[in-house]
Structures are given as C-alpha cells and as structure tokens.
Amino acid sequence: MKIAVIGTGYVGLVSGTCFAEWGNRVVCVDRNAEKIAALRQGRIPIYEPDLDELVERNYAAGRLDFSCDVAKAVEGAAIVFIAVGTPPHLGHGDADLSFVYPAARELAALISSDTVVVIKSTVPVGTSDVVHRIIGTVRAAGTFAVASNPAFLREGAAVRDFLVPDRIVLGVEEEWACQRLVELYDTPIERQDTPVIITMRRTAELIKHAANAFLATKITFINELADLCEEMGSDVAELALGMGLDKRIGASLLAAGPDGSCFPKGALALLQTAQDHGVALRIVEETLAVNEARKRRMARKVTKALGGDIDGLTIAILGLTFRPDTDDMRDAPSVPLIETLQRLGGRIRAYDPVGIENAAKVLSSVDFYDDLYECARNADAVVVMTEWETIRKIDLAQLKQKLRQPVLIDLRNALDTEAARLIGFRVCAIGKSASTDSSLRDIAKQRNRQRAVKAATPKLVPVTMREK
Ligand code: NAD
C-alpha cells in the first residue's frame, strides 16, 4: 500500500518507518528541508531507541523515503496521515491547530481520488469533522474519507509501542475507508491479538484525551500519596507495588515524581471539550490544579534540603529530558524547576546524556555537562530529575567525592537512597522520609525490588516483516 505521512516529527517518523517495516511504501514529508536532507543522508533528527536501525533498513530497501514535496508524496497514496505538531497555544494551553488546517487545505487540492486522510496528531474533539469539511469544499463527497487514528506512543519506547500496541483506535465513518485502515493494521497486529476499536471520528479523538486525562489522574494520585508517605514515614514505592499488583489498578505510572509529564496536556484538552459542552469534569480539573502546584513543591523540596536559602549555592541537575531515552524537552519538569531555582539565586550545572542540545534552546545561564561526575564537581547538592540508566547506575561514592556538600535530592526515586545515607549523604527522596529506609529488613526489600522489576517489564512479541 502506498502511504504518505505529513509531518516527520516524533510521531510521523516513527509511524511512517513502522508502516514501511510492515511492507508498505511510505513517503514521510516535512516542510523542514534540513530535517529531510538529514534523513536522506541517514541522520535521524531525534533520539529514539531502535529507530535508526529501522529507518536505515527500510530506506535501503526502497520502502521508505523522505521528501519536502507534498504533491509527489500524496500522488497515488491510498492513505495520507497528518502527523504535524499541535503545541499548546501560549497563554491558554489549548491545542494550536495552525499546522493541521493548512496541511488539510493543501491536501484537499492534491490527493488522488479515494484517498483516506487520517489525523494522527492529537487534536481537540471535532477537528476531524472540520478537516472533512475543509477537504469537502474542494473534493466531491464520496471521493475521499477523513479518519482519526490517534497515536499512543511513549517517547523512548515509541517503536515498541507502535509495533506492539495495546490497541488500535480507528475513528472512521465510511465502510470502504474502514476496510482500508483495517487492512493496513490487520496483518501485523492480528498475530498479536491486538484489539482494533472501530468507532466514530469524535469518539476516537475523545478516547485519546480521556486516556491521557486518566493517566494524569493516576500519576497525580500517587504523587499526592507520596506527600502523605513523607509525613507519616511510609515508603511510596512499596505502597505503589502493593497497589499496582492488583490487576484492576496495574503497576505502570505509579512512580511518584515531579509531575504528570505530557499527560496534563491531554487532561486540559478534555477539560476544554467538556466545558464547551457545558459538562463539569471536577476530577480532571483537580488533577490539573494539583499537578501545577506540584511543580512549585519540587523547588521547595530542593531549597528545604539546602536549609531554605539557595542564594549563591551551586546545584547539579542530573537528567533534563521529560523522560529517559528521549531528547525531547517539551513538558520537561526540569525547566520550571531550574528556572525557579535560578530565580532564588541558585547556580545551575546540568547533565543529560542526549538532551543538552534541546535543553540549551529553552534554558539560559546553565552550565551543561555530558559527564555526570564533572557536572557534580563542587556542587552544594545534586538533584535527580530524569531516571536515565547512566544516572541509575551512578557510583555514589565517586559522586560524593565531587560534591562540596553531600546533599542528594532524588526526585525520581532512581537511586539507592539507603546506600547513599550509609556513605554519608543527606538524602531527600519522593514519598519517603529519612526514617523509612531502615524500616524494612534487607530480605523484604530485595524481594519487593524483584517483584517491582517483574511487574514493570512488559512482554515484547516480535513482529515479522512482510511485503504488501
Ligand atoms: P513534532 O513537532 O516533533 O513534529 C511535527 C513535524 O511536522 C515538524 O517536523 C514540522 O516541521 C512538521 N510540519 C508542520 N506542518 C507541516 C506541513 N504543513 N507539512 C509538512 N510538515 C509539517 O511533533 P510530534 O511530537 O511528532 O507530535 C505530532 C502530533 O502527535 C502532535 O499532535 C502530538 O500531540 C501528537 N503526539 C505526540 C506524541 C509524542 O510522544 N511526541 C505522542 C502521541 C501523540
């Protein structure tokens, strides 16, 4: 099947490459000529595990190509995906559709007869209907279809999420278009028994926002319980383990941390849709408010650990990206934290294994390091912000030697805080107090850790490639 993908960002590049991996002929289009030139030379503009190998293989096989030429890319394409960005509007936070609608207008004049235009971008409910109307002003009814197929990808695990999805959601209202989309997804995922939900366009759009809002609520819930654990001397990681092994709850996203990452954006979109329809979603409203307050709380945690005044002190931040295994800085909680610490007079040194280039675009007056021990040199405290593997494996003794003051603030509960205390660190973690560490015998801790790892490791079912 010939496919065009408009927008070659995190979602467009991963989706297009994986469609090619399934045997389709795919052209990924972007208006950023530099990005397209880099891809054609084999340079991947984003950091995403496994993606480079997949791009290289499919490009070499002639199934995958990159272009700035929309007209050529969509000529004869059975399906055209729109995967352009929908960043939040500055000021009010709802999705900016100024990339989606122009892309739809451009496509209206260029698509072949019987093309299915699919919105993969995360858009407000009703956007696919508007895109249908836009294309309908140029094309005769019945000669095209518009569908919604939201992306449920986690950066850092996007290739796996695409190839081994939990479900596929298709919002499609024409029989022939539905058949084509089912054909695209059916064979590769049928083998894995992946459910395909076929529904109206609006419901598909709503599913995406509702899922994000629910996940934001789940993270916010465990974050609030982390605060309670700190006050009463419990351990939030063990609480989460005890809760998450209940299959009705599930173990994922029960790690307390700085905030709910990108999910609040979905929660906000859902809230706005509900308000437009005169419906109150009080839980979602509260989730957003709690999440916002949490950002300020994290800065207070750091200042408190340093005695309340950080003016003139040097703080080493370990990890900048919004999660590990990505270079994406959008929605990264490190940004508001660093900016607040700077306002309070703190001097910031920061380490990240791949995110420095993007971080430097959004942060100022920060000294960046690609060596985490160098980053910690002469700092008054070290703050763990992103649980990269390199940070999880840090040598605590070597870290302590570099610091001016042995203060460790682990906002991801990524390190062995008990071991840190034993070698003389003053430790502040999430959802546990200083007394928590010694409350359990070693054997119990060891068993719990093993169970936590088991619960958090999903099965990967290999997908074999085939020509289509
Ligand atoms: P991105 O900003 O990384 O990429 C978007 C790309 O679209 C850019 O390269 C831009 O140059 C290009 N573009 C914009 N208008 C264009 C046009 N008219 N023609 C050709 N190219 C054009 O965005 P992203 O992170 O890939 O997100 C895309 C959408 O998917 C958003 O709606 C986002 O909310 C959603 N989403 C993202 C993720 C994620 O993890 N990043 C996950 C699920 C859903």
Give 328-352 pLDDT, tens digit per residue: 999 899 999 999 999 999 999 999 9
CA dist 153 and 50 (Å) reads 14
DSSP, collapsed to helix, strand or coil, labels residue 98 as: coil
What pLDDT does 43 receive?
96
What pLDDT does 459 receive?
43
Residue 38 is encoded by which pair of tokens? 């880099």
Share of the chain above pLDDT 70, in %: 90
> pLDDT tens across 65-112, in order?
999 999 999 999 999 999 999 988 766 667 889 999 999 999 999 999
Report the CATH number that the domain containing residue 347 is assigned in CATH. 3.40.50.720
Burial 127-147 (b: 16+ CB within 10 A, else e): bbbbbbebbeeebeeeebbbb
Ligand 1 center to 87 CA (angstroms): 9
What residues does 348 pair with on adjacent strands?
315, 366
Give the residue numbers spanning the domain of 380. 211-451
Are 88 and 94 contacting, i.e. CB atoms less than 8 angstroms apart?
A: yes
In a domain, 384, yes or no: yes
Read off the pLDDT band of 467 (50, 70, 90): very low
What pLDDT does 65 receive?
98
What pLDDT does 352 receive?
98
In a domain, 459, yes or no: no
Ligand 1 cavity residues, CB under 6 Å: 6-12, 29-32, 35, 83-86, 99, 102-103, 121-122, 151, 153, 155
CA dist 26 and 426 (Å) reads 54
Q: Is there a single domain that holds both residue 168 and residue 30?
A: yes
Q: Is there a single domain that holds both residue 251 and residue 395?
A: yes
Q: Is there a single domain that holds both residue 187 and residue 283?
A: no
Ligand 1 center to 85 CA (angstroms): 3
Which residues have CB under 8 Å from 213's CB, separation 6+? 263, 266, 267, 270, 271, 281, 284, 287
In a domain, 411, yes or no: yes
Are 222 and 257 contacting, i.e. CB atoms less than 8 angstroms apart?
A: no
Q: Is there a single domain that holds both residue 219 and residue 287?
A: yes
Read off the pLDDT band of 220 (50, 70, 90): very high
Ligand 1 center to 36 CA (angstroms): 14
Residue 391 is encoded by which pair of tokens? 């940070």
What pLDDT does 260 receive?
53
What pLDDT does 455 receive?
55
Residue 303 is encoded by which pair of tokens? 């200042």
Q: Taking residues 377-397, report their average pLDDT.
A: 97
Looking at ligand 1, which atom is closest to the CA of residue 32?
A: 11
What pLDDT does 264 receive?
79
CA dist 103 and 105 (Å) reads 5
Please provide the average confidence, as pLDDT, over all residues in the chain. Answer: 91
Ligand 1 center to 8 CA (angstroms): 7
Are 347 and 322 contacting, i.e. CB atoms less than 8 angstroms apart?
A: no
In a domain, 206, yes or no: no
Looking at ligand 1, which atom is closest to the CA of residue 11?
A: 26
Counting ligand 1 atoms within 8 A of each CB, the residue from 5, 11, 122 with the most, and so the one to mutate, is 11
Q: Taking residues 401-417, report their average pLDDT.
A: 96
Q: Taking residues 142-150, report their average pLDDT.
A: 97
Active site residues: 262
Residue 447: pLDDT over 70: no
State how many domains the chain has: 2
Q: Is there a single domain that holds both residue 215 and residue 294?
A: yes
Listed in order, strand segments (DSSP E) in 385-450 are 407-410, 426-429
Q: Is there a single domain that holds both residue 323 and residue 419?
A: yes
pTM score:
0.91
In a domain, 274, yes or no: yes
What pLDDT does 261 receive?
64
What pLDDT does 452 receive?
63
Looking at ligand 1, which atom is closest to the CA of residue 13?
A: 26
